[in-house]
Amino acid sequence: MRVAVLSDIHSNLVALDAILAHARSVDAIWHLGDVVGYGPDPDGVVARLGEVGATGVRGNHDAAALGGPEIDWFNPDARAAAEWTRDTISGATRAWLDEQPERRTIGSFSLVHGSPLDPLREYIATLASARDNLAAIDTPVGLHGHTHVPVAFVGDQGDVMIIEPRDGATLEIDDRRTLINPGSVGQPRDGDPRASYLTLDIGADAGPGSETPVTVVAWHRVAYDVEAVQAAIRTAGLPRRLADRLAFGA
């Protein structure tokens, strides 16, 4: 089974559609939250995820859009966008967001937005936080977003390795625990403005001599029409910095 894992779409429908076109051959789509916030098209993104039957979890920006206290931790741009999103979204979008749980387990995979220990707040950005969260997951693999930077942490018993993937990089999951971040669809922050996501090939052939199927992770980058989204952000009256940063992936 082949799964596309998407995180931090942030109301960027143009980037989402570019990724869905790229990921045409997948059997399922999982999302890791922050479906809305920052970007100009929350209703369009939620409608599209509904059309493709995406399964996932709630992010801090989704919680803020629903009226949660998460908005109090936001910087001024994020707060302005969250208030705009609250005022803009349809009842159907609100209901869909409200159905997303903070955690979800699918087979061997734990899905959260931020971290298994604190799904709506913690950023897994250091080896120390990765170590704590690898110990905390109760499945072999954890999938998370929130940092907008693609990465993986592999290991247990305190011995943790960081993998910083490039476009097209792959990782074969072995029997060590693994935390995997697909990067951000709608607002990448690793210096590459292209939309980021990953695919999981679950039950892939491990090659000659091995009968045990494996899971292979592959990270992908997809170019999209950044200028169209920047124009839509400005037209919506959202903070201009939210448009500017998309050109730099920052």
Q: Site residues (CB under 5 A) for Zn ion?
A: 8, 34
Cβ nearer to Zn ion, comparing 83 with 156: 83
Strands (E), the chain: 2-6, 28-31, 55-56, 104-106, 109-111, 141-143, 151-156, 159-163, 170-173, 178-181, 195-204, 214-222
Smallest separation (angstroms) from Zn ion to the CB of 194: 17
CB neighbour list of residue 68: distance below 8 Å, 6 or more residues apart = none
Give the shortest CB-61-to-Zn ion separation in angstroms.
6
* Closest residue to Zn ion: CB criterion: 34
Distance between CA atoms of 36 and 12, rounded to whole angstroms?
8
Tell me whether residue 43 or residue 70 sits nearer to Zn ion (CB atom): 70
Q: Which is nearer to Zn ion, 8 or 122 (CB)?
A: 8
Smaller CB separation from Zn ion, 8 or 192: 8
Shortest distance in whole angstroms from residue 18 CB to Zn ion = 18
* Shortest distance (Å) from residue 10 CB to Zn ion: 6
Is the Cβ–Cβ distance between 102 and 132 less than 8 Å?
A: no
